[in-house]
Structure 1
């Protein structure tokens, strides 16, 4: 498979570890998989391939839990997901015309900024208004297309409110699953989707399943500050490595 030639043995091992670690964070918190995975995959693949590969993995794991997500998610998740489908093609087109190194740097900065979003103070249980919800959906769509990361606008929208943890997780995961589907449809429509990517996703998917299962089991048992520290360290390392490759 020519696409696999982009990886040497060490990079395949790193991709598998990144897949496990990012899926563990997803199972634990409901978000973080793409934020961690895209910058690491972009070190071996061109950014648009890293984004679309992550979309495949996010779609696969989301579909494996779809009944649970539909049952537990807020109605707002469907509204946001519909608007993501509008913004994703625009973001993916922007990525397709951006230089590889520039795209790596932008993705790295998005990864770092996303972590800061979870540090925002909680705002109570009241739902957001239609303007905020619409803005989150459109911005999330642009980030889905450009960086494979619908999370930066979505995470503070849900995590910043004092609502049940399971509702928060189900709502975010449903948005991310539907956002991944929108990203892949956009990639196919724009003619930038390499159809070898699903095979690479199949190679990484067992690590995703195992990591998500372990994170889900650990959910509620690990202190907030521990997973925040782990995410921060991984995000920082991935961002530094992406920038070093871009400038080096």
Structure 2
């Protein structure tokens, strides 16, 4: 399948804008890229291709800053990464046996669950219990495979705890980079990875790189309430669009 041939000019512009905007949120907050971009890409691509394309972009941008992530991430990130590696293939397999319409609805509701988690008030430090870490890893892996979104369990785990912001961001981004790598390996292993997606990822990556750089520059300059509202609006719009696509 020629992915680029399936895109009209307007669709390419939308994909570039979605890549830029979601990467800006990633640079600003340390999460949100997959949550925002997968529902948009799933409007033009199959859910499987949308998830795998997002995995390519996540790996590209993660590798561009891997030294910083390795230096600053918390040790718990490696436990979560190991569990993600085990459970991601299960999530991806479930995606391949789900009809595109149902998959789009599920992806939309996963995005909405993250939207609700983002809006919750900040709490004190969460209990850093091994069972909590394990549960986060398992859920993150399933969501990585099924929706390309490892973030919904991971974000509350790190953001809600009393740890330095840089440690939280680096831990999340390292997990997301490794989770996306696992997603691509799983896709190749079960035969659903279309390597022409690599070409589309290369087309979108400059927008991701620019958005992530600007987001990092703006990090710390925008009030928490402001970015939560912005993410919520974009996330809600993308989820509603995915639901419209599924039922339309």
Normalising by structure 2, what TM-score? 0.97
Q: Which residue of 1 aligns with 2:64?
A: 64
Q: Which residue of 2 aligns with 1:231?
A: 231
Alignment of 1:77-156 (within 5 A): 77-125=77-125, 128-156=128-156
Q: Which residue of 2 aligns with 1:189?
A: 189
Q: Which residue of 1 aligns with 2:45?
A: 45
Q: Which residue of 1 aligns with 2:246?
A: 246
Query: Structure 1 unaligned runs (5+)?
Result: none
- Paired with 1:148 and 1:11, the residues of 2 have a C-alpha distance of 20
- The answer as to 2:22 corresponding to 1:28 is no
| Count of aligned residue pairs for this structure pair | 248
Deviation at 1:5, TM superposition (A): 2.3
- Paired with 2:126 and 2:113, the residues of 1 have a C-alpha distance of 25
The answer as to whether partners of 1:118 and 1:160 remain within 8 angstroms in 2 is no
The answer as to whether partners of 2:31 and 2:172 remain within 8 angstroms in 1 is yes
Cα deviation code 1:173-230 (max 9, x no counterpart): 0000000001001001110000101111000000000000000000000111111111
Cα deviation code 1:55-96 (max 9, x no counterpart): 000000000000000000000001101100011000000000
Q: Which residue of 1 aligns with 2:219?
A: 219
**Secondary structure, aligned partner of 2:52:** helix
- Paired with 2:118 and 2:129, the residues of 1 have a C-alpha distance of 20
Deviation at 1:119, TM superposition (A): 3.1
- Paired with 2:118 and 2:74, the residues of 1 have a C-alpha distance of 19
- Paired with 2:234 and 2:14, the residues of 1 have a C-alpha distance of 12
The answer as to whether partners of 2:125 and 2:160 remain within 8 angstroms in 1 is no
The answer as to whether partners of 2:115 and 2:236 remain within 8 angstroms in 1 is no
Deviation at 1:128, TM superposition (A): 1.1
The answer as to whether partners of 1:118 and 1:159 remain within 8 angstroms in 2 is no
- Paired with 1:7 and 1:128, the residues of 2 have a C-alpha distance of 45
Cα deviation code 1:35-55 (max 9, x no counterpart): 000000000000000000000
Query: Structure 2 unaligned runs (5+)?
Result: none
The answer as to whether partners of 2:83 and 2:137 remain within 8 angstroms in 1 is yes
List structure 1 runs of 4+ shifted beyond 2 angstroms: 118-127
The answer as to whether partners of 1:113 and 1:152 remain within 8 angstroms in 2 is yes
Deviation at 1:239, TM superposition (A): 1.0
- The answer as to 2:71 corresponding to 1:76 is no
The answer as to whether partners of 1:114 and 1:152 remain within 8 angstroms in 2 is yes
